[in-house]
Amino acid sequence: MQELTERILQFIEQHGDVDTLDLVPVFGEDHQKIVGAVKSIESTVADVINTTQATRKTWELTEEGKYILANGSHEAAIYEAVPEQGIAQAELMKSSPNAKVGFSKAMSNGWIMMDKSGGAPVIKRKVTEIKDLVRDHLKAVASGRDELPDNVKAEYKKRKILTETVIKSFVLSKGLQFSTSLTKLETDLTVEMLASGIWKDLKFKPYNFDALGVPPERGQLHPLMKVRSEFRQIFLEMGFSEMPTNNFVESSFWNFDALYVPQQHPARDQQDTFFVSNPQLSHKFPLSLLDAVKESHESGTDGSIGYRYKWKLEEAQKNVLRTHTTGVSARMLYKIAHQAGGFKPVKYFSIDKVFRNETLDATHLAEFHQVEGVVADYGITLGDLIGTFNAFFNKLGITELEYKPTFNPYTEPSMEIFCFHPGLERWIEVGNSGVFRPEMLRPLGVPVGVNVIAWGLSLERPTMIKYGLNNIRDLIGPKVDLKMVQEGPICRMNR
């Protein structure tokens, strides 16, 4: 085997690329042995040769073809079996193993004839000599000289003396580490080699500086977190500070009552909100705030007449999974209204999970991330809200924005916001906004003259648009293809 492997390498060195089938007549070895030597080369030293799979159609003799090659065709055997004086057909048919085929072929070739002139029919020779073409053809095929015309091959295939086979072979060519010798190349210089000095007799594989490095295993932010970073950066650039939203569970008081959402509002029903069973109720609220909120709901504040219903503490105590982050905004407003030194203008933002007991569909799950911006300052107006939201979305590369009146229990006026998305080439809803009502602000202690504008949007919608996803389950959840996360491109919202 060793000698054959070296001969193959020498052949490639001298003649370049070669098909293993073409080495059969060169080395006088059968094809399987040559393929085995190629496999041995590949397993001994990497990259010495390259092999590409090839297939070749070839004609081979069947067992019957090999019989004919050795003994002559059946028709020639019949001709040889006919004596000068002729022979009875029944006698002739016993003369060779394939007499039936041989007789009909010898007749159709015009080599023999039937003579009835003497009464009983006898078979006689019609010619004085014949040429056994079938045997000659098979000799040519057996020696690899494939010169037979297609119609002859087809006839022999039909007679089952030739068969067409597809042989899988390999085209061999020089590899990056081609060498005519198969000495195993060392890939590491070890302490033992240096200490013993054997390194002097070893051959080392040259460095392949073109080899690509193994991509390092690394973490990757989920696309949602990439978009969150982009939004956070925009808020920070605009001078906003992040609110502490690390409480998924919220009391109904902060999630609804403090936002002037009446206790019989449908949003507070089970089909829209997840109520927490343990701990079911909250008990710690600033007493003066409770009274002020109760007062605001029952009989209003600042000239409003309120909702005129009996406000119940036990309703406000029920714990929920927060349905929005606006409850956190209310907590922050209460805090700055009661801080030492009194109220100071602020710009706050938050980006965190909220939970809605909603019907799930391709773009909605029971939880999503709400992005919320809040600005509290003396004398600011709806115009400031529009200008701030425009500035925020301009940083996302969106410039065409439209505002449409809507209703929220805690803001008046309220606006839905739409943009013309250049990528989607259509108008899409991008958020909701408004000016917090006095019935919400006064109980929190926000001074008269201070207005608070706020807006909200989600993280999932822009992320799905950015990453070209149509189903939320391709972005979040157990069916997510982690390759989408690992290979997700860097997120630049304004490009």
The residues binding ligand FB9 (CB under 6 A) are: 326, 356, 370, 372, 396, 398, 408, 411, 419, 421, 428-434, 454-458, 461-462, 465
With respect to ligand FB9, which residue has the nearer C-beta, 172 or 491?
A: 491
With respect to ligand FB9, which residue has the nearer C-beta, 185 or 267?
A: 267
The closest of 303, 289, 297, 299 to 268, measured between CA atoms, is 297
The closest of 209, 211, 240 to 395, measured between CA atoms, is 240
With respect to ligand FB9, which residue has the nearer C-beta, 318 or 356?
A: 356
- Kindly state the greatest CA–CA separation across the chain: 145
How many helices (H) and strands (E) the chain has is answered by 19, 14
425 neighbors 447 (Cβ within 8 angstroms): no
Q: How far is the CB of 324 from ligand FB9 (least distance, A)?
A: 6
Q: Which amino acid is at 306?
A: G
Q: How far is the CB of 258 from ligand FB9 (least distance, A)?
A: 13
With respect to ligand FB9, which residue has the nearer C-beta, 164 or 272?
A: 272
Q: How far is the CB of 356 from ligand FB9 (least distance, A)?
A: 6
Q: How far is the CB of 235 from ligand FB9 (least distance, A)?
A: 14
d(CA 274, CA 110): 100
With respect to ligand FB9, which residue has the nearer C-beta, 54 or 366?
A: 366
Q: How far is the CB of 418 from ligand FB9 (least distance, A)?
A: 9
d(CA 90, CA 300): 127
**Residue number closest to ligand FB9, CB atom:** 456
Phi, psi (degrees; rounded to nearest 5) at 405? -60, 145
With respect to ligand FB9, which residue has the nearer C-beta, 64 or 367?
A: 367
Phi, psi (degrees; rounded to nearest 5) at 96? -150, 160
Within 10 angstroms of residue 477's Cβ, the number of other Cβ atoms is 10
Phi, psi (degrees; rounded to nearest 5) at 53? -70, 135
The closest of 453, 461, 409 to 431, measured between CA atoms, is 461
With respect to ligand FB9, which residue has the nearer C-beta, 79 or 410?
A: 410
Q: How far is the CB of 407 from ligand FB9 (least distance, A)?
A: 11
Residues facing residue 431 across a β-bridge: 417
483 neighbors 220 (Cβ within 8 angstroms): no
Within 10 angstroms of residue 124's Cβ, the number of other Cβ atoms is 15
Q: How far is the CB of 421 from ligand FB9 (least distance, A)?
A: 5
Q: How far is the CB of 296 from ligand FB9 (least distance, A)?
A: 18
With respect to ligand FB9, which residue has the nearer C-beta, 373 or 445?
A: 373
Q: Which helix (H) or strand (E) holds 435?
A: strand 426-436
With respect to ligand FB9, which residue has the nearer C-beta, 11 or 467?
A: 467
Task: Classify 271 as helix, strand or coil.
Answer: coil
Q: How far is the CB of 393 from ligand FB9 (least distance, A)?
A: 7
With respect to ligand FB9, which residue has the nearer C-beta, 291 or 429?
A: 429
377 neighbors 345 (Cβ within 8 angstroms): yes
Q: State CA 192 to chain mean position distance.
A: 46
Q: How far is the CB of 374 from ligand FB9 (least distance, A)?
A: 7
d(CA 225, CA 98): 83
Q: Look at the alpha carbons of 111, 115, 121, 124 in this order and tell me if their dihedral is positive or negative.
A: negative
